[in-house]
Amino acid sequence: MTDFTSPPSPELSGEDLRALAPYAQALGKAKLQAQAKTLAGDRLSKRKGHGLELYEIRPYHASDEVRHIDWRVTARTGAPHARVYTEEREPKTLVILALSRDAYFGTQTTFISTRFAQLAALIGWRCQAKREQLELNIPFRFNAPQVKDWHRFSLELADCTMLDRIEEAAPLLELEANTGTRGCSVVILSDHLNLSDQSRQVLTHMARHNRVYWVSLEDDQTFKLPSGAYTLKTPQGPKALRVNAQEMARLGERYAIKQQQFNGELSAIGVRRLLFDVNHSPIAIARELLHLGVIH
């Protein structure tokens, strides 16, 4: 296994994440996809032009360009009509990285928190290579509406892998109100399975105006550990833990039920959830996200 798949430590440095930049550029060709859904009249992002896709034909307004008059409809109706096109907009990706205490755990290659930081870095470097705008949001810790300082970008992600961050992890996802995001790809990297009421409202609003994807990672060996004593590394030092196989099996069943319920909850508000194995290469996962149209 490579150092990317199985790093020597779950705690990464900015340099570790910057080393992923060449791999982000070489992921392959992005999947063609439709524009993010929007509502008429919304201003989504920086305008590049009138676009090529016909949106509607409507009565001519004084502010319309003469070259957009539809002469056939005008002749048929006896009143001037104009063609309205969708605007070409600069692609934008919003990455939200939100980790629970359970993210600082892994049984084989690395911690879930580590893999999420690598994925966020790959998405960021991909946006940089494609010259697309990137917003990074680590709820209640860091928010860059437009990432320009890429060195700090890598340092903020690396900081999320530090084990002492487990003390700050919230038991459920808490999203700050964000009503200004329009027409972009929203990629939520999180292992949470619980939403606060405010987060549910924020996600519902986001899903109305953007493509929203929830990317989850799981370690399929978590509930298959043999009975016995284990030692966990914590910020306070090593911690002894005794595992009972029967109890772990029951916890696994409860977890599976919670997963199913959470999938339904996200689907109901228009958020697509994607689940990957934490022990897969971060580059392979990023390539699959590219294939699915999550990133460009």
CATH classification at residue 234: 3.40.50
Write down the pLDDT at residue 121. 98
203 & 74 share domain: no
Q: How many residues in total does the chain contain? A: 296
Are 208 and 269 contained in the same domain? yes
pLDDT digits (tens, 9 = 90+) for 190-219: 999 999 899 999 999 999 889 999 999 999
Average pLDDT on 81-108 reads 85
**Residue range 5-10: mean pLDDT, rounded:** 95
The arithmetic mean of pLDDT across residues 244-271, rounded, is 93
- Decide which of 62, 85, 108 is a domain's last residue: 85
Tell me: do 22 and 63 sit in the same domain: no
Q: Who's near 239: CB < 8 A, 6+ residues apart?
A: 231, 232, 233
The answer as to whether 45 is a domain residue is: no
Is 126 within the bounds of a domain? yes
Phi and psi at residue 294, in whole multiples of 5°?
A: -70, -40
CB 128 within 8 A of CB 146: no
For residue 128, pLDDT beyond 90: yes
| Inside any domain, residue 3 | no
> Which pLDDT value is given to residue 39?
35
Last residue of a domain, one of 85, 100, 127: 85
Where would I find the H helices in 130-244? Answer: 150-159, 197-209
- Would you give the distance in Å from CA 98 to the centre of its chain? 10
Segment 250-263 shows an average pLDDT of 94
Structure confidence at residue 40 (pLDDT): 36
Instruction: Based on the fold, state whether residues 81 and 95 are members of the same structural domain.
Output: no
Whether 154 is covered by a domain: the verdict is: yes
CB burial string 29-52: b at 16+ within 10 A, e below: eeeeeeebebeeeeebbeeeebee
What does the block give as tokens for 259? 């997963």
Whether 164 is in a domain gets the answer yes
Domain boundary among 61, 85, 109: 85
- Residue 192, CA atoms < 13 Å, CB-side half-sphere: 24
The predicted pLDDT at position 51 comes to 52
Query: Does pLDDT of 256 surpass 50?
Result: yes
Q: Are residues 164 and 234 in the same domain?
A: yes
Task: Specify whether 28 is located in the same domain as 161.
Answer: yes
| Residue 44 falls inside a structural domain | no
CA-CA distance, 50 to 52, in Å (whole number)?
7
Contacts of 14 (CB under 8 A, 6+ apart): 151, 154, 155, 157, 158
Query: Tell me, what's the pLDDT at 178?
Result: 65
| pLDDT above 90: residue 277 | yes
The mean of the pLDDT values for the chain is 86
**Cross-strand bridge partners of residue 134:** 93
Containing structural domain, residue 113: 14-34+90-291
User: Minimal CA–CA distance to 103: which of 221, 10, 27?
Assistant: 10
The reply to whether 5 falls in a domain is: no
C-beta separation of 296 from 124 below 8 A: no
Residues 172 and 278 in one domain: yes
The answer as to whether 9 is a domain residue is: no
78 shares its domain with 94: no
Residue 182 shares a structural domain with residue 280: yes
Q: Count up the domains in the chain and report the number.
A: 2
Q: What is the DSSP code (8-state) at residue 28? A: -
What average pLDDT does range 256-266 have in this prediction? 95
- Shared domain for 204 and 110, answered yes or no, is yes
Note the pLDDT of residue 84: 80
Identify the band that residue 173 occupies on the pLDDT scale cut at 50, 70 and 90.
confident
Say yes or no to pLDDT of 57 above 70.
yes
Domain match, 71 and 192 both: no
Question: CA 122 from chain center: how many Å?
Answer: 11
> Mean per-residue pLDDT for 158-179?
85
- If asked whether residues 81 and 94 sit together in one domain, one would say no
